[in-house]
Amino acid sequence: MTTVARHKTRKSGGEAPAPRQARVESRPPGEPRRIGWLYVLPALLVYGAFLLWPLVRGAQFSLYDWDGLGTATWAGVSNYTAIWSDPVLRGAFGHLLVLIVFYAVLPCCIAFLLVAVMSRSKIHGLAFFRTVLFLPQVVAMVAVAVAWRWVYSADGPVNTVLGWAHALGLPDWRRGWLGDFTFALPAVGLVGTWVGIGLAMVLFLAGVQRIPRELYEAARIDGAGAVREFFAVTLPALRRELAVALTLTTIMAIRNFDLIYNATEGGPGDATKVPAYEVYNRTFNTGEVGLGCAVGVTLAVLAFVVTAGIRRVVEGKDA
């Protein structure tokens, strides 16, 4: 465009047309997005073959009365109604609620207490204590059950210490802990507490390390004590870690089978029977395959509902 043409354009109030923009591709560079499904396909096949398909077949079997060998007869939802009409199964779900307190609530509370102390003072050898507390997570639950059977045995460490206390004049609290109708379930629950503390504490410690120290300093300048500092700074910042810890430990309680099977086998009587153990017991011992599958499907639904509820309550509306 010449100088005269530019002048005329400026006088007439028009603007020179902008150069045409090069067309930008909407697709990001690299491989097409559909190729990503090929990367996750092996994991999806394994997940579908060993989890989704057995769950679907279990839901199908739960609608029949079947002993695993003979001919199956249609039962409809009678197996599901039997879960609440059978006192043993109803009691098993009640025991599960007790174990959730031991497996999820107590470990998180104790871990929060430990983290609150660690966040206010520097502790030497923190990595060592963290490793020791997390160690039960990497030990097979079968080995944990065998070890705690010895701990709770008549000549085990617990009764030995209580015997020393009795020799000093205290009441005799020695008993067969795993064979006592009153104390067997709390004794198993304390094992779950011991296992879960390390996991919750490691999660909370990781969360505390990303909290700005200025928040603690500001709270202390405002005169906040240890309790107020915890509820005003630490707890709100650890909502997501708390949701993860509660979810993992609650699912651990819901699927608790190996500890019960190796420590008490549901006894004494029905004192420590839980739904996961009843799935095995009804399916392989009493020949009630349909009822066992109904309990398993109910547990799967319960785990999903509890997990979603924990995220909703702890993380808030953004979960």
The tens digit of pLDDT for each residue in 217-230 reads 888 888 877 788 88
Q: Is residue 188 part of a domain?
A: yes
CA 202 to chain centre: 14
Is 222 contained in some domain? yes
113 domain residue, yes or no: yes
Q: Which helix (H) or strand (E) holds 74?
A: strand 73-74
Phi, psi dihedral angles at 152 (to 5 degrees):
-90, -5
Mean pLDDT of the chain: 86
The per-residue pLDDT for range 181-234, each reduced to its tens digit, is: 999 999 999 999 999 999 999 899 888 888 888 888 888 888 877 788 888 888
CB 117 within 8 A of CB 227: no
**For residue 30, what pLDDT is reported?**
58
Query: Is 92 among the domain residues?
Result: yes
Per residue in 14-42, pLDDT (tens digit) is 455 555 554 545 555 555 677 888 889 99
Other Cβ atoms closer than 10 A to 279: 23
Q: What 3-state class would DSSP assign to 156?
A: coil
Is the pLDDT assigned to residue 6 strictly greater than 80?
A: no
Number of domains in the chain: 1
* 150: Cα within 13 Å, side-chain hemisphere: 5
Amino acid at 152: Y
Residue 75 lies in a domain: no
In a domain, 281, yes or no: yes
Enter the DSSP assignment of 22: P
Q: For residue range 136-182, what is the model confidence (pLDDT) as tens digits?
A: 888 999 999 999 999 999 999 999 999 999 899 889 999 999 999 99
Residue 49 lies in a domain: no
Residue 91, token pair as written in the block: 């009691």
**Count of C-beta atoms within a 10 Å radius of residue 25:** 6
Q: Is 305 helix (H, G, I), strand (E, B) or coil?
A: helix
Residue pair 221/298 in contact by the 8 Å Cβ criterion: no
Q: Which residues touch 189 (CB under 8 Å, ≥6 apart)?
A: 98, 99, 101, 102, 103
Q: For position 46, what pLDDT does the model report? A: 95
311 versus 151: the higher-pLDDT residue is: 151
We report the CATH number of the domain holding residue 271 as 1.10.3720.10
Instruction: Name residue 226's beta-bridge partners.
Output: none
| pLDDT greater at residue 31 or residue 263 | 263
pLDDT of residue 252: 94
- Residue 69's pLDDT is 87
Residue 277 has which token pair?
Answer: 């153990």
Q: Give 46-55 pLDDT, tens digit per residue.
A: 999 998 999 9
Rounded Cα–Cα distance for residues 221 and 206 (Å): 25
The C-alpha angle with vertex 248 and arms to 265 and 130, in degrees rounded to 5, equals 100
Among 62, 44, 67, which Cα is nearest to 300's?
Answer: 62
Instruction: Look up the domain containing 186 and give its range.
Output: 87-315
Nearest to 12 by CA among 20, 4, 24: 4
Q: Would you state the structure tokens that stand for residue 65, as one six-digit string? A: 């009365």
Q: Quote the pTM value.
A: 0.83
Task: For residue 119, tell me if it sits in a domain.
Answer: yes
Q: 173 with 234: CB under 8 angstroms?
A: no
Question: What per-residue confidence (pLDDT) applies to 300?
Answer: 92
Q: What digits encode the pLDDT tens for the residues 88-133?
A: 999 999 999 999 999 999 999 999 888 887 766 666 777 787 788 8
Residue 4 pLDDT greater than 80, yes or no: no
